[in-house]
Amino acid sequence: MTTPFSARIDLAATLQSGQVFHWNQNADASWSGLIGSMPVRVSEKNRCLVVHEGDHGTIARHFALDHPLEQIAAAFPNDPMSQAALSACEGMRILRQPRWECTATFITSSMKQVAHIRSMSLAIRERIGTRPEGSKIQAYPSFEKLAGSTESVLRDCGLGYRAANLLQTARILAEDRLNLDTIAKQKTPMLRKSLTTLPGVGVKVANCILLFAYERLDAVPIDTWIHRILLTMRGGRHGTATELANYARRRLGPYAGYVQQYLFHHARSLKRAKSPTSGIN
């Protein structure tokens, strides 16, 4: 065990809040996963991250230990729902994910719950990925490798109609018709527009990618959970997707993506606590 980082973190919340889908908790309460193709094992001690395996610098960057959580917390809206989520999820961090892996994973997320997304991610890794030395799971396949697969293989991984979207996106990237690193220089509205040119990437998925892979911390993915929460905040007043998105950015502030993630995870946690056998994920 190494000396813990000093930055605060709620490791379980960070890894179980619907950002990533392949990490596993071990019998000793540590967590094992991959950052790209690098095997990692980490744990939490006194709300600080402890590294057991993996490069410290890469891990610190991936877990965004430089994000100013106190400043972010101070910017949370002062309403009961936001403050309850902040209190319940204190220490949860928005990860910095590999761009292709994040893009691919959220293309498969459409109309799926967290457990289903995890199942598809693991199936793709098992069927197409390569196992790094020392890892118990395979790395997510590169877009070049996935581009050489078939829709049938991806459907066998449980993707359904999402298989065609993922395969087409991988081929667009493999043919260099769009470069996920080059577009990172774009401002958020243009970057969102660029991402939505990819098959299977609508505005909600684009906002997930913006938040988790491009560190646009004001991006707000609006799924059914956040939609309900925003309606409550608006006193039940409905609106178009664009109106709700604009409202979310205004209401949730400069770190709207963080507020959204805390609200999302807190709402799911409350639902599971009330109905532990409901299957809600």
Q: Does residue 281 have a pLDDT over 60?
A: no
Is CATH 1.10.340.30 the right assignment for the domain spanning 99-213? yes
The predicted pLDDT at position 275 comes to 60
Each residue's pLDDT tens digit, 8-66: 999 999 999 999 999 999 999 999 999 999 999 999 999 999 999 999 999 999 999 99
Each residue's pLDDT tens digit, 101-146: 999 999 999 878 899 999 999 999 999 999 999 999 999 999 999 9
**Residue ranges matching CATH 1.10.340.30 in the chain:** 99-213
Give the phi and the psi of residue 42 in degrees, each rounded to 5.
-135, 160
Do 141 and 124 form a contact (C-beta atoms < 8 A)?
A: yes
Helix boundaries (H) for the chain: 11-16, 56-62, 69-74, 80-88, 99-107, 114-128, 143-147, 151-156, 162-174, 188-195, 203-213, 224-233, 241-252, 256-274
Q: Which of 63, 35, 46, 39 has its CA nearest to residue 3?
A: 46
> Half-sphere exposure (CA, 13 Å, Cβ side) for 57?
0
Name the β-bridge partners of 53: 41
Name the β-bridge partners of 25: 31
What's the pTM?
A: 0.93
Torsion of the alpha carbons at 162, 216, 98 and 106, rounded to the nearest 10: -10
The predicted pLDDT at position 110 comes to 86
Do 132 and 33 form a contact (C-beta atoms < 8 A)?
A: no
The predicted pLDDT at position 270 comes to 85
Q: Which of 130, 107, 122 has its CA nearest to residue 212?
A: 107
The predicted pLDDT at position 273 comes to 67
Do 211 and 221 form a contact (C-beta atoms < 8 A)?
A: yes
Q: Which of 34, 164, 242 has its CA nearest to residue 250?
A: 242
**Of 143 and 7, more confident:** 143
Those residues whose C-beta lies under 8 Å from the C-beta of residue 55, and which sit 6 or more positions away, are 38
What confidence tier does 3 reach under pLDDT thresholds 50, 70, 90?
Answer: low
SS3 (DSSP) at 24: strand
The predicted pLDDT at position 278 comes to 41
CA dist., res. 67 & res. 126, Å (int): 33
**Residue ranges matching CATH 3.30.310.260 in the chain:** 1-66
The predicted pLDDT at position 280 comes to 36
Each residue's pLDDT tens digit, 213-262: 999 999 999 988 899 999 998 888 887 777 888 888 889 999 999 999 99
Residues 73-77: what's their mean pLDDT? 95
Residues 192-203: what's their mean pLDDT? 97
Q: Which of 159, 167, 169, 171 has its CA nearest to residue 108?
A: 159
- Please state which CATH class domain 1-66 belongs to: alpha beta
CA dist., res. 211 & res. 95, Å (int): 9
The predicted pLDDT at position 40 comes to 97
